Chains A and B, each alone.
Chain A
Amino acid sequence: MRVLQELRAAGRGQDMQAVVEMIPYARFLGIQVDQKGNEITTIMPFKQALVGNVNLPALHGGVIGAFLEMTAVIQLLFDTSCERLPKTIDVSIDYLRSGRPQPTFGRAIVTRHGRRVANVRSEIWQEERSKPIGLSHGHFLLTPI
């Protein structure tokens, strides 16, 4: 992605907030990045367009999946400072609790970083870190096909 190369050239290869601002879909979901040293937390403030069940209300399952995937990719970009967006090969999502109309936070860990493929686990939560609402495990392709 052009923005990744530009940021890297400007010595801001790890400015993940700048990256999400360049991705239209991340802007649509309202995703932000909180960066403290080498720790990355993604934040998704609540808005009505994220709701999947108006009775409860609860976040849409697709939003939860997208936020988990975005959290994984951001962590991967931060860890590798790579110049292209990793491509998702597969992702497996566990829905643990319904997402309430509140801000959601995410953390990811790159469990294995190979030459071609990286394995990443993500976790998202709301009020309590110890009560995640969703978990995911995904494989990402790092090299062009």
Chain B
Amino acid sequence: METPADYLQQIPHAAAVGMTVVRHDEVTCIARVPYAEHLVGDPDTGVLHGGVLTALLDNTCGMAVRAPGHEPGSVAMATLDLRIDYMDSAEPYRDIYAEAVCYKRTRNIAFVRATAYQDTAEDPIATCVASFMMNTPNEPRK
């Protein structure tokens, strides 16, 4: 069986951003993006672009929906909606973390909230709520 970390390496964009799993259990997932020059959004300050947070939050929320132990291919899903509030700029040259909790799964939809931070989840740089459509097609399109 694949571990979640292996699973992230199979997602080209997650790998390109450098995303890794820190912790993953039944309802919670914590993932990390290391600071990198190619992710900078403001060349004057070196602050990471908001889009990096979007990718990290989206992916971490998705993993929280899919509890560990499920083969990635077995539960296909698609992001329906993602709303992010940016509380503070990320400090440059430091890694960012996201912690997502899937607080409700129904047959069709899963609901997730997440926090992005650098020190602790109590001091967030962004928070987000997302919903995912479950059991979407996962076969190559014609």
Chain A residues packing against B (C-beta within 8 Å): 1-3, 22-29, 48-57, 59-63, 65-67, 69-70, 85, 87-95, 98, 100
CA separation between A42 and B140, bound complex, in Å? 27
Please tell me which one of the listed residues A57, A60, A94, A98 contacts residue B14 in the complex, with CB atoms under 8 A apart.
Answer: A60
Q: Say if the beta carbon of B59 comes within 8 Å of chain A.
A: yes
Q: List 16 interface pairs A-B (beta carbons < 8 Å), by A numbering.
A: A1-B43, A24-B37, A26-B49, A28-B16, A48-B12, A55-B76, A60-B58, A62-B51, A62-B56, A63-B13, A65-B54, A65-B55, A70-B51, A90-B86, A92-B84, A95-B79
Considering the chains assembled together, what is the distance between the CA atoms of A47 and B55 in angstroms? 16
- A69 to B139: give the CA distance in the assembly, Å: 29
B123: interface (CB < 8 Å): no
Q: Are B55 and A63 in contact (CB under 8 A)?
A: yes
Query: Per a CB cutoff under 8 Å, which of A57, A61, A65, A90 touches B62?
Result: A61
Interchain pairs with CB closer than 8 A, number:
143
Complex contact B40–A62 (CB within 8 A): no
- Selected from A51, A89, A93, the residue in CB contact (under 8 A) with B86 is A89
B66 to chain A: closest CB distance in Å?
Answer: 13
Chain A residues near B54: list those with CB within 8 A. 61-62, 65-66, 69, 91, 93
Asked whether A27 and B38 contact (CB < 8 A) given A95-B79, A95-B82, the answer is yes
